[in-house]
């Protein structure tokens, strides 16, 4: 059962985002990027108020994704990433991105906080950050 509203084109857009943001992190890393995106849509809190769809989330400015500025994002979605996108749309969550609203790739270690948000962990090159449950209950 989908946890966000979507259609085939939006699912392909999310698949392209997963690939462009985290292909080098493998399937698990792409699922985690998807978790962050779905959480931003579900959350309706903090920097993500009124983000109600995949296009809203992908193209949010400021606060969206760097990948949309690169041609790689605009390549056709592949079936493998479409399957991953469907998994996160259906609510599959992967720690440390389960409740995360942010991630980034630091040059060194992950800081304990980033923009006052707690580090929930690292997967390969990406660090993930979560809001406090009281600030954003819909992602918990």
pLDDT in tens, 37-46: 999 999 999 9
Which residue is it, tokens 């400015």?
61
Q: What are the residue ranges of helices labelled H in 77-135? A: 79-89
pTM, two decimals, is 0.96
Q: Model confidence at 63, in pLDDT bands (50, 70, 90)?
A: confident
Asked if residue 64 belongs to a domain, the reply is yes
Asked if residue 1 belongs to a domain, the reply is no
The pLDDT mean for the chain works out to 96
Query: How far apart, in whole angstroms, are the C-alpha atoms of residue 107 and residue 20?
Result: 19
Total number of domains in the chain: 1
Asked if residue 57 belongs to a domain, the reply is yes
Asked if residue 2 belongs to a domain, the reply is no
Asked if residue 62 belongs to a domain, the reply is yes
Query: How far apart, in whole angstroms, are the C-alpha atoms of residue 25 and residue 19?
Result: 9
Asked if residue 88 belongs to a domain, the reply is yes
Contacts of residue 60, Cβ cutoff 8 Å, sequence gap at least 6: 40, 48, 51
Asked if residue 52 belongs to a domain, the reply is yes
78: domain range? 8-139
Asked if residue 29 belongs to a domain, the reply is yes
């Amino acid at each position: 059962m989908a946890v966000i509203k979507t259609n085939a084109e939006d699912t392909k857009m999310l698949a392209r985002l997963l690939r462009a943001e985290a292909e080098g992190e493998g399937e698990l890393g792409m699922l985690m990027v998807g978790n962050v995106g779905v959480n931003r849509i579900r959350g309706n809190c903090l920097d993500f108020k009124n983000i109600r769809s995949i296009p809203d989330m992908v193209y949010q400015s400021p606060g969206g994704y760097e990948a949309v500025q690169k041609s790689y994002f605009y390549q056709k979605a592949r079936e493998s990433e479409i399957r991953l996108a469907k998994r996160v749309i259906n609510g599959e969550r992967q720690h440390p991105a389960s409740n995360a609203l942010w991630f980034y790739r630091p040059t060194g270690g992950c800081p304990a906080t980033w923009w006052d948000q707690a580090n929930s962990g690292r997967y390969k090159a990406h660090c993930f950050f979560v809001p406090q449950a009281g600030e954003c209950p819909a992602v918990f």
